[in-house]
Amino acid sequence: MECTILPWLRQQQGFLDLIILALPDDSEVATISFWDHEGNAQAYNATGYPEVVQVLQELLDGIPYVKTFEVVSSTFQPSATALQLEPDDPASDPAPRVYRRCANSV
């Protein structure tokens, strides 16, 4: 995943970060991706995510699912690049950071 999906993911518009969590026995994996705006997360969900699932298909033994959340509170310190991002609609307040949680069994 690190050699195939992460470089591609880093090129997606609005992508900020990815956290990969695994049980000690590797029986379950969850990923949390962070996006600058909800619109970019939705665009990834519509086009990129199905491609990623197809690449990982041989590792999956269940159907992955996606949930979208708004970050209510965080101690995460965004990079200088993330701080300079423009909102989707400059006339409105910037949207809250959006992250996606994708859990699946391995």
Q: What is the pLDDT of residues 38-80, one digit of tens each?
A: 999 999 999 888 888 888 888 888 888 888 888 888 887 765 5
pLDDT for 102 equals: 53
Dist CA 17 CA 4 (whole Å): 16
Q: Is the pLDDT of residue 85 over 50?
A: no
Q: Is the pLDDT of residue 27 over 50?
A: yes
In a domain, 18, yes or no: yes
Q: Is the pLDDT of residue 24 over 90?
A: yes
Task: Give the domain extent around 15.
Answer: 5-72+94-105
In a domain, 46, yes or no: yes
The pTM (predicted TM-score) of the whole model is 0.66
In a domain, 37, yes or no: yes
In a domain, 27, yes or no: yes
Q: Which helix (H) or strand (E) holds 52?
A: helix 49-56
User: What's the total number of domains in the chain?
Assistant: 1
pLDDT for 42 equals: 92
